[in-house]
Amino acid sequence: DSGVTQTPKHLITATGQRVTLRCSPRSGDLSVYWYQQSLDQGLQFLIQYYNGEERAKGNILERFSAQQFPDLHSELNLSSLELGDSALYFCASSAGQRSSPLHFGNGTRLTVT
């Protein structure tokens, strides 16, 4: 068990809808990362937060947004969903130092129909 909790585990929704994925980091970790994993793209970095502030941004679509709250949990919001957004979304946390290992949750599987 990595200590990172993601909810929900599965999500099925229709195109055009909006969903929110939630992540609770490991106790003591200040940094939260979001990754998207699809069969043809592998693990793609989306965004990172450190202690409530955005620290790094990857290939995150404008339809997607995230935030980290004062209690350090994070939410990833996906809107105007398209079929191609179907994927596994992983949250990871770390102490926030450059070489701190990332600890991943077990992901949320999003299916857009």
Partner 1 sequence: GESVGLHLPTLSVQEGDNSIINCAYSNSASDYFIWYKQESGKGPQFIIDIRSNMDKRQGQRVTVLLNKTVKHLSLQIAATQPGDSAVYFCAEIPRSNDYKLSFGAGTTVTVRA
Q: Which stretch binds partner 1 (CB under 8 A): 11-19, 62-70, 72-80, 102-110?
A: 102-110
Does 101 bind partner 1 (CB under 8 A)? Our answer is yes
Residue 98 has, within 13 A of its CA and on its CB side, a CA count of 0
Q: From residue 39 to residue 58, what is the string marking binding to partner 1 with x (rule CB under 8 A)?
A: ---xx-x--x------xx-x
CA torsion 10-12-76-81 (nearest 10°) is 160
C-alpha 110/C-alpha 102 separation (Å) is 22
Work out whether 25 is an interface residue with partner 1 (CB under 8 A).
Answer: no
Q: Which two tokens stand for residue 23?
A: 């992540």
Say whether 84 sits in a helix, a strand or coil: helix
From the CB of 45, what's the least distance to partner 1, in Å? 5
Instruction: Give the residues lining the site for partner 1 (CB under 8 A).
Output: 2, 4, 31, 33, 42-43, 45, 48, 55-56, 58, 90, 92, 98-99, 101-107
